[in-house]
Amino acid sequence: MKGCSPYDVPITASLPDSNFNASSVLSASFNEPYMAKLWGNSEWCPATASLGAEYFQVDFSRPFRVCAVDTQGHHTLSTWFVSSFNITYSLNESTWFTAQQNETNGVSILLMRPGDMGIFLGNSDGNTVVRNKLSGNWSFVARFLRLIPLTWNAWPCLRMEVFGRELPAIDVRFPRNKTVLEGEQFTLRCLLLGNKNNFNVTWMKKSGNERSFPVAGQNLTVNATRLDTGAYICEVTNGVEAILSPIAYVTVWCKYPPSFIDLKNQTKEIVEGVKMSLQCNVTAANPEPNITWYSATGNDTVLSNAVHLTFSNISRSNSGNYFCVAENGIGPKLTSGMITLNVQCKFIDFLLKCIYSTKEIFIFSSDSPSLDTNFPHDESAVEGENVTMNCVVKESNPEPNITWVKLSDRAKVFPSGVSLSLRSVSKDDEGEYRCLAENGIGEQMMSRIAYLSMEGQLS
């Protein structure tokens, strides 16, 4: 039998009065729930004899495997008894289940109506004890138990006792959805709240690289690597049965420095009076990098602390050399190549003192976006990981608007920007992605198609 034996102990006999509850009582002096002990001199009787409206409830204080329920009727009025009832049970007093049975005190299951497997046969007088067994697969683990009268004689009164075996209450003492950095240490604790003797604890990782961690004691301590991201549960066994804890989710973030997508020196020629923007193109990094733009003068003047350095109305005084620096505390600072701006005057007429150069000039303000055809890259991920795709704009003025689409689900809306960040990916995120760039000049530009593939799922 699954966790039940002739040696199971009475559960309710030693419980304090406060652990008993009921929907109502007929008499506060004689019929309180805590008075309804087997062979006692009082019993629980509800205030009304309404089908399905009244119940008797007991809180075991901790989880037990319930194996049998004994009932009696009224201790003096032999015609007051419950002749059939339902049993419901719960571990948290919010989610309830209906108990079933396989022994019906001599009544053939074939004679019972469909659905009657949840009906327990009760008493036919006041003092005879009737036992309903819940052995094998019909036993259940519960902390809270309710007995709901279905049929009765005269009035639904009862005394009762529940028999079973104490089990450990298991909880994972670790913040759910915890994020740790790679290289840090984290500890999961499988806390047993009940009988702790003769139990073995095994921790299991249930996603990605699945594995087991036999531990001496209840704690699992791990030096985090990126492979440790996933769902964890602990299993407690006593040689008879195994109890699984709730799931604890651990996400390991890796620290890595940024790198520049384009480190080459560049020269840009532009006509004064237009708006233009320089972009510091860096790859994704963790933590997010700080970007600083400098003018390459003698003291390297700081111009901006953003990804873009924007000139709203560029003039010849803005001609010069510029560079950006990216850092996030991981590794050395990274310095981009030098960008040289040659700002030329507008050609209005020959009377201007500013001499118009006849050589071909690059008028930045009239160009549609130009995308790097190597981006975004194909990505693969395990369920629960974070994925970032980058859209690299080589040239554009004015600054383009970048949007992202998933080709199999164009109704899905993503935030605009050069990077698409997908948090805690699942199988639904698998598919083809591309970025779209437009700045009002010319047609909309499309990137290459990048495919996100999923390598594993939570099990």
Domains of the chain in sequence order = 9-166 (2.60.120.260), 169-253 (2.60.40.10), 257-344 (2.60.40.10), 370-454 (2.60.40.10)
In the DSSP assignment, the letter for residue 92 is: S
Q: Is the pLDDT of residue 118 over 70?
A: yes
Note the pLDDT of residue 409: 87
Retrieve residue 39's tokens. Answer: 């062979």
Note the pLDDT of residue 346: 63
Q: What is the pLDDT of residues 9-68, one digit of tens each?
A: 899 988 999 999 999 999 999 999 999 999 999 999 999 999 989 999 999 988 888 989
Note the pLDDT of residue 76: 96
Q: Is the pLDDT of residue 365 over 80?
A: no
Note the pLDDT of residue 37: 94
DSSP assignments along 348-377, one per residue:
--TT-SSPPP-S----GGGEEEEE-TT-SP
Give the Cα separation of 234 and 213 in Å (integer). Answer: 9
Note the pLDDT of residue 160: 96
CA angle (38, 39, 40) in 5-degree steps: 90
Least confident of 48-52, 169-173, 310-314, 360-364: 360-364
E runs forming strands in 312-361: 320-327, 334-335, 339-344
Q: What is the mean pLDDT of the chain?
A: 81
Note the pLDDT of residue 113: 40
User: pLDDT higher for 442 or 176?
Assistant: 442
Give Cα separations from 178 to 18, 227, 228, 252, 425 (angstroms). 37, 15, 12, 8, 16
Q: Is the pLDDT of residue 233 over 90?
A: no
The band of 399, judged by pLDDT with boundaries at 50, 70 and 90, is confident
Q: What is the pLDDT of residues 311-355, one digit of tens each?
A: 988 888 888 899 999 988 887 888 888 999 988 876 443 333 333
Note the pLDDT of residue 59: 96
First to last CA, the chain: 29
- Neighbouring C-beta atoms of residue 359, cutoff 10 Å: 7
Q: Is the pLDDT of residue 449 over 90?
A: yes
Retrieve residue 330's tokens. Answer: 């991981």
Radius of gyration in angstroms for the set of CA atoms belonging to the chain, rounded to a whole number: 37
Q: What is the mean pLDDT of residues 105-129?
A: 66
